[in-house]
Structure 1
Amino acid sequence: MSYQNLSVQEENGILILTISREKALNALNGQTILELRQFFAEDAPNRDGIRSIIITGAGPKAFVAGADIKEFVGLDAENGRQLSQRGQDVFRMIETFPKPVLAAVNGFALGGGCELAMACHLRVASENARFGQPEVNLGIIPGYGGTQRLIQYVGKGKAMELLLTGDMLDAREAHTLGLVNHVVPAGELLDKAKSILQKIATKGPVAVAGVISSVNAYFQYNEDGFDHEVRAFGKTTGTEDFKEGATAFIEKRQANFTGK
């Protein structure tokens, strides 16, 4: 598939998805949101042999520095609601994608960029990364899930402070608060991201998908996470992967999972 604002590279079962609007600090405009939807709805699910995805931003300055504010000018309440819903729908697709999605955060991850990183399953940040939800500075609030996901990572009190002040977190602060899994020098960012995903790739794909869906279920108001886990556990015990994993454990060898 061809994209205007995204570039896609495949490497050893990992898709590296780069948001490529470097001159605009990779800001999320409508076209980019549309392409992200296309990627996660049509492109990535139909690629054979893909085990995981890295999302990053082009250039050293920004992962995604926010939404493209020029497109917000002139919005009325209904158009604003629709714009927010489109973004939330796409980010929910990322959050529920059955294969690991890791944000490799280089530079600024602000507004929609912070929301995009939080929708991913894991986050690795370069030492120069900065995170924040500065929407109140513009007289609006986060619209792509920021008020909900930030609480999940840093707790209500700190999330409230960050959302109300618009203050930024540096990479170390984000790591201390639990927003980021790892912080590395900028030149090691993609290597660290790949090493994590390569380790996950040795695990059972059905089990990995079950972990993702079960963890997500904890935060869904209309779903019992414990019940979801029971059903997901039952599903894994009936797979060829479980038989292979158990046999490999008994035989003290590396399992060869097939995702079946």
Structure 2
Amino acid sequence: MLTFKESCIGVMKLSKPPVNSLNLEYLTEFNIAIEKLENDKSCRGVIITSALPKIFSAGLDILEMYQPNTDRLRQFWTQVQQLWINLYGSQVATVAAINGHAPAGGCLVSLSCDYRIMAPNYTIGLNETQLGIVAPFWFSDTITNTIGFRKAERALQLGYMFTTDEAKACGLIDKIVPPDQIMAVAHEEMKKMFAVPDFARQITKNQCRKQFIDKLHAKRDADTDNFVNFITKDSIQKAMGKYLESLKKRKSG
């Protein structure tokens, strides 16, 4: 994780080759970095982008879920939950500068930010069903709050990956930006949010999002149990095994 400050703006660049997959250790590092910036009184906003070409984040590391150690799996899911709580409920302004593909967890990170800009010719979406798994209720809540019930329901069922143009048309992202301008535009959008008094923006954001964050807090243990019980089912493990085999064949081909 490359993290630095530019005046009152923190910049987080995901840097975990080859595809910024989120395993337990990287999720823990991600959460610590967010919390440090959140606690920095001079930081008013955070931009999240990728240091790798053509990929924002491939999402959760499937190897954490395939033939897992149950204790580690629980720790892993706790960190996934915490990442969403930290980002979706952040008191600072947040911009996702999506400069590559953003499936699954990469899409969730983007959706959890206040504003999303994206380079053209990439894809974004919660494609969990294509892997034989199911997005939890708080993933569903987040995309539904962004694009509306019917479009979200359809996209979740199909595990649909939106092109940049499709994502802009349905409101999944806010602006399409050439790759070489994406950070400059992210700073411009951040300044627009800074034009509003921080306390007013923070209270308004909290009013809009608190009920959904409280919902996860109330069901956090049950959500973890459901995740562990589902992922460790033989049928799910077989489906993930087939998916991993298909990736190996694709790479070797």
The change in CA–CA distance for 1:12 and 1:178 in structure 2 (over 3 A counts) is: same
Match of 1:105 among 98, 103, 125: 98
TM superposition score normalised by structure 2: 0.77
Shift of 1:7: 0.7
Map 1:187-226 → 2, pairs under 5 A? 187-217=180-210, 219=212
1:28 equivalent to 2:18? Answer no
Q: Distance in 1 between matches of 2:154 and 2:120?
A: 23
> What residue number does 2:11 align with?
16
Which of the residues 53, 71, 80 maps onto 1:60? 53
How far, CA to CA, are the matches of 1:160 and 1:77 in structure 2?
A: 30
Q: Which residue of 1 aligns with 2:113?
A: 120
* Number of the residue aligned with 1:236: none
Query: How far apart, in 2, do the equivalents of 1:143 and 1:116 lie?
Result: 14
- The Cα of 1:109 is off from its aligned counterpart by 0.7
Alpha-carbon contact 2:38-2:91 (below 8 Å) kept: no
**Hey, what does 2:155 align to over in structure 1?**
162
8 Å CA contact retained: 2:14, 2:52: no
SS at 2:206 equivalent: helix
Q: Could you tell me whether the CA contact under 8 Å between 1:26 and 1:58 is conserved in 2?
A: no
What is aligned with 2:123? 130
The offset of 1:200, in angstroms, is 1.9
Give unpaired runs (5+ residues) of structure 1. 1-5, 223-260
Query: Unaligned 5+ residue runs, structure 2?
Result: 216-253
- Structure 2 partner of 1:40: 34
Mapped contact 1:65–1:109 kept (Cα < 8 A)? yes
8 Å CA contact 1:27–1:68 kept in 2: the answer is yes
SS in structure 2 opposite 1:167? coil
Q: Return closer, same or farther for 1:29/1:80 CA change in 2, 3 Å cut-off.
A: closer
1:93 pairs, out of 64, 86, 95, with 86
Q: Match of 1:156, as an amino acid?
A: F
Cα-Cα RMSD = 2.2
Letter in 2 for 1:98: Q
How far residue 12 of structure 1 moved from its aligned partner, in angstroms, is 2.3
SS across alignment from 2:56? strand
- C-alpha distance 130-205 of structure 1, shift in aligned 2 (>3 A): same
Query: Is the CA contact (8 Å cut-off) linking 1:27 and 1:67 kept in structure 2?
Result: yes
Question: Does 1:146 find its partner at 2:139?
Answer: yes
Tell me, what secondary structure is at the counterpart of 1:92? helix
The amino acid across from 2:6 in the alignment is: E
SS class of match (1:190): helix
d(CA) in 2 for partners of 1:63, 1:52:
19
Q: Give aligned pairs, total.
A: 215
- SS state of the match for residue 59, structure 1? coil
The 2-side partners of 1:44 and 1:68 are apart by 25
Match of 1:180 among 163, 169, 173: 173
- CA-to-partner distance for each residue in 1:49-74, whole Å, 9 max, x for gaps? 21100011122311111211122111
Identity of counterpart residues, as a percentage? 26
Q: Which residue identity is paired with 2:2? A: S
Q: What amino acid maps onto 1:111 in structure 2?
A: A
Residue identity in the other structure for 1:121: D
Query: Equivalents in 2 of 1:220, 1:11: separation in Å?
Result: 29
Aligned-residue offset at 1:15: 0.6
1:189–1:144: structure 2 CA closer, same or farther, 3 Å change rule? farther
